[in-house]
Structures are given as structure tokens and as C-alpha cells.
Amino acid sequence: MKSVCFYFKIHQPFRLKRYRFFDIGNDHYYYDDFANDEIINRLAEQSYIPMANTLLDMINGSNGEFKCAISISGTAIEQLQLYVPEFIDLLKKLADTKCVEFLSGTYSHSLASLEDPEEFLREVKMHDALIRREFGQKPKVFANTELIYDDDISLLIKSMGFNICLTEGAKHILGWKSPNYVYNSCVAPELKLLLTNKKLGNDITRNFNNPDWDEYPLTAEKYIDWIASLPEEEQIVNIYLPMDTFGTFLPASTGIFDFLKALPHFGKERGVEFTTPSLAAKRLKPVDALNIPFPISDMNEEADVAPWTGNDLQREALGKLYAVGERVNLCVDRRLKQDWEYLQSSDHFYYMATGKNSAGAFSPYDSPFSAFTNYMNVLADFIVRVEEQYPEEIGNEELNSLLLTIRNQASEIESLNKEVKQLKQNILTSDDSTNAPVIVEGETMTETPLLIAEKADVEAPKKRGRKPGTAKKVESKAEKKAEPKKTKAKSTKTAKSK
């Protein structure tokens, strides 16, 4: 039986406001809240919510036979929680069906895998913790930002415990080979590679609503027929699609949601099953190892990383950003760390792309240079804030040593405070014990020593003519016996003198 897995990608960055040179040092808030609110709400209304409901209908209508995967960034989850919490509830319902698998990835959809391995590992860990917390799943399949992958990255992925990775079925890597098999990494043999079928993905995203296309119109029956007619030995078809394609770039009026809803029906007729990536990889064995020495992605025809690192503007911005990464990770300033996450989103660097890689209509800026200028102004203020906490003249190793000393001192202070608290408690316990009943010659006194002292202090003025409050001790039994003798002797002496 032929297997097909649909992947739906959701990502939104925190867009930057227009930030001028004169704002540096004066304004530490960098984001265009109005644009973020407007865009995420529009996408949710037109695409995300209708798409989630469509997937639920496909799962319920097929009695759970339809399965798929979702890749969502941490910054997208944050914005959805803030502006469209009802969509998060829909994602939770999809997770509860057990038919939707959430993938691992970078928290801010960053390029850390190309620039800073340690930051890359931290981002993935942070992302997966959010997925577990929100949707109750521990991600088993890794999908990097824009499916960026190479042999070095595969070692990092394997070091985090992943055995499955999704990446692009790039033609210059595969050559005559088909993307419809499971492969493995040549440097990390235990890491299975699932490759996307670019053609079948483009047939939906680019050609579904293209009347000039030879196969127009595309129907669910025709699409399933293409998959079913693939060579029998080809194991798995992976189709990776941005979720906002459905309802936004392909409006509901095109019939795109009806197309999706019909897929499970025709799949069942033609013996095509829908699966999740982890189920497919568990069942299928790799047919060959792939050697990928240079980074690939799913972004352009060349399937490289030029859309984010292809010109001097992008490389300058990336270099400046990740140069302060170690110091940022040493700090405990929550706001600074949050800005660090948001500034890493790959979108900021894509807006700086030039030539054939240009973002074009996707960019909110007039030109790549405007995008670069605005980002560098923001970054300049961010770096000033970092250096205020951790001066540049102090080396990272020395700074780390100083911070370790400070943390150790804080731990020691905390330990001493606990000891002081315990000693105070012991003193209070000791004071309480003085109020316990005392036993004199086998008899228990009903009054405690402190109460006796207070009583003696009150009665003393009557016997000795003293002021109240001067009695401090409790008289011993011997003193009480001696007191009558002293009084008698004094009376006899007085009589003689008279």
C-alpha cells in the first residue's frame, strides 16, 4: 500500500516597527504590535481556523484513517496565544485525535543551526518543551527552519536523541534517485531521512488555481491517482505545505478546502494510506545513505541557504547578532532573552535578500537595504543593552568565571540564611521549654517558673514595699523555709531594744 504524509507548516515572526537611528539608546521596544495583531488575526480567520476545522472533519470523516503532521514555531504559538487563543484550542483538539503529529524545530524559526550550534540545541530544547506543555506530545521527528540540513547539522540532530529528520528532496543531492524512499545520514547512520516531494507540493501551492497549467483543474481524484501510480517499490510520499496557503493564497472560493476533504475518500478507493512521519519511519527501512556536505533548504530552485545568507548585508547582520549570543545566554534578564529569541527569526534576514532570492511582496520593507538598516538599528540598541550588563572588555571566559563565583556566593548566602533560620527556630523552641511545668520533690507545680516569677513580682510590693516589676527570680524552697526564722529573729531584737 502506498503511503502519503502531509506536513503543514505554521510560522509567524514578531515583526519590527520602523526603528530610527535616533531611537538607539532611547527606545527598547522593537515590535510592530499593530501589524502583528492584524496579520495573525487575518491569517487565522482566512486560513488557520478553517484549515484546522477541515483537518478535524477529514479525521472524523475517515474514522481516524487520515493522519498528518504539523510543524509550528514557538513565536507563532506565542502570537496565537496572545491574539487568537481559539486556534490553539483547535490545535489541542487535533492533538487529542492521536492522528496529528507535532514536529520538533527551532523556537524562533532561526538560522542558529548555521551560526551557533550551542544556541541551536538550546532553541530546539525550548521549542519541544513548549510543544509538550501545550499539546501533550514529545516530538519524535525533527524539521529544521525551512528544512535546512547538512551532514554537520545531522550530527547535532542525532546528539539530541532524534532518529528521524525531514528535509528537502533536492535534485542536486538525489540525482537520479527518487525522494519517495527513506534514506539515512552518511555521518549519522541511525538518523533516518524523510525527503519532501517538491513537485507534488507545487502542484497544490502553485498550480491548483493556475488556469494556464496543463493539468488544470486539479481534483482530489486526479491527485490521488498520481500518487497511486508511482512505482510500487517507492515507499513514502512526503508533501510539505505552508498552512497559510489554504484560504489565503488559495482562497476558499477556489474549492481548496473541498479538495482536501475529498482526499481520504479517493485514497481509500485507490489503496493510498495517510500516515504520520514517525509511523512511516518505524515501518520502513533506509535504502541508501545521503552525503550532504553543504546546507540545503526548501526555499528556492537551488535548494540552498542563499535566501538568508547570500549577500553581505545578511552575513553582516547574522555575524553581529550571534557575536553576542554567549553573553545573552549568561544573563537572567527575561526581557533581554525574549528580544534575543525574536531577533533570531529567519524572516528578518530573508527581507534583506537581493536578486532572484528577494522576498518581494512578502517583505514589509521598500527594499532589502531598508530591511537591513532597520534591523541593524534595532540590533545596535540590543547590543548596547547586552554590554551594559556584560561589558565587552571582559572576556567571555572571565565573565563566565565571575558569574559562576557570584552564583556560588549566592548559593552560600542562601545556605547561611537557612542555618540562621534554623538557629532562630531552635532558640524559640528552647524558650518554649521554659514554660513547661516543673517538678519539685516529686510534685508537679501547676504554675510554670515564668508565671511564678510574674506572680512574685506583683506580690513583692505588698511584702517588701518595693515597686512592681522588680522581682526577677523565683525563690528556692530553702529560701522560703529560712524566711520565717529571719522574721522571728528580727522581731525579738526589736522587742529587746524597746
Assess whether pLDDT exceeds 70 at residue 363.
yes
Dist. CA 60–CA 62, nearest whole Å: 5
The b/e string for 155-171 (b: 16+ C-beta within 10 A; e otherwise) is ebbbeeebbbbbbbbbe
CB atoms within 10 A of CB 421: 10
Which residues, 6+ apart, have CB-to-CB distance to 450 below 8 Å? 434, 435
**What type of residue sits at position 335?**
R
**289-290 vs 272-274, strand pairing mode:** unpaired
Dist. CA 485–CA 483, nearest whole Å: 6
- Phi, psi at 304, each rounded to 5°: -115, -165
Dist. CA 357–CA 345, nearest whole Å: 17
The predicted model gives 386-391 an average pLDDT of 86
**What type of residue sits at position 417?**
N
Cell numbers 547512520 correspond to 189
pLDDT band with cut points at 50, 70 and 90 for residue 67: very high
Assess whether pLDDT exceeds 50 at residue 379.
yes
Nearest to 308 by CA among 269, 344, 266: 344
Please write the tens of the pLDDT for every residue from 301-346: 899 999 999 999 999 999 999 999 999 988 889 999 999 999 999 9
Please write the tens of the pLDDT for every residue from 267-283: 999 999 999 999 999 99
The predicted model gives 68-79 an average pLDDT of 98
**What type of residue sits at position 67?**
K
Do 224 and 266 touch, CB atoms closer than 8 A? Answer: yes
Q: How far is CA 455 from CA 117, 444, 466, 472, 480, in A?
A: 77, 18, 14, 10, 15
Which of 184-193, 300-309, 331-340, 449-458 shows the lowest mean pLDDT across its residues?
449-458
Helix then strand count (H, E) for the chain reads: 21, 12
The predicted model gives 402-420 an average pLDDT of 67
pLDDT band with cut points at 50, 70 and 90 for residue 453: very low
Fill in the DSSP letter of residue 296. Answer: B
Please write the tens of the pLDDT for every residue from 112-147: 999 999 999 999 999 999 999 999 999 999 999 999
